[in-house]
Amino acid sequence: SGAPSTTSTTATASFLPPTFALHTASPAAPRTLLARYPSTITPSSVYLAVPTNGYAHAGLPKRFVHLVGPPLDVALDARGSGGRGRWVRSGCWPNAEVRAFVCPGEGGRRPARRKGLGETGHAVEGKEGGDEGEGEEECKTHFGIFATRALKEGEEIVVGWEWDDANAVHRV
Residue 166 placed within a domain: no
The CATH number of residue 42's host domain is 2.170.270.10
Per-residue pLDDT of 22-52, as tens digits, reads: 999 999 999 999 999 999 999 999 999 999 9
Higher local confidence (pLDDT), 157 or 133: 157
Confidence of residue 17 (pLDDT cuts 50, 70, 90): confident
Q: What are phi and psi of 169, to 5 degrees?
A: -60, -25
Confidence of residue 89 (pLDDT cuts 50, 70, 90): very high
Residue 126 placed within a domain: yes
Q: What is the number of structural domains in the chain?
A: 1
User: Residue 97 is part of which domain span?
Assistant: 5-10+17-161
Residue 43 placed within a domain: yes
pLDDT reported for residue 130: 39
Report whether 83 contacts 37 (CB < 8 A).
Answer: yes
Residue 168 placed within a domain: no
Q: What is the mean pLDDT of the chain?
A: 79
Report whether 122 contacts 41 (CB < 8 A).
Answer: no
Residue 169 placed within a domain: no
Confidence of residue 120 (pLDDT cuts 50, 70, 90): very low
Residue 63 placed within a domain: yes
Residue 152 placed within a domain: yes
- Given a cut of 90, is residue 144 above it in pLDDT? yes
Residue 55 placed within a domain: yes
Q: What is the dihedral of CA 61, 8, 12, 14, to 10 degrees?
A: 90
- Given a cut of 50, is residue 123 above it in pLDDT? no
Per-residue pLDDT of 75-88, as tens digits, reads: 999 998 878 999 99
Confidence of residue 9 (pLDDT cuts 50, 70, 90): low
DSSP assignment of the chain: ----EEEEEPPSSTTSPPEEEEE-SS-B-TT-EEEE---EEEEHHHHHH-GGG-HHHHSSPPTTEEEE-TTT-EEEE-SSS--GGGGPEEESS--EEEEEEEEE-SSSS--SEEEEE-TTS-EEEEE-SSPPPTTPPPEEEEEEEEESS-B-TTPBPEEEP---TTSGGGG-
Q: Which of 44-48, 60-64, 92-96, 124-128 has the lowest mean pLDDT?
A: 124-128
Q: For residues 40 and 78, what is the distance between their CA atoms, to the nearest angstrom?
A: 6
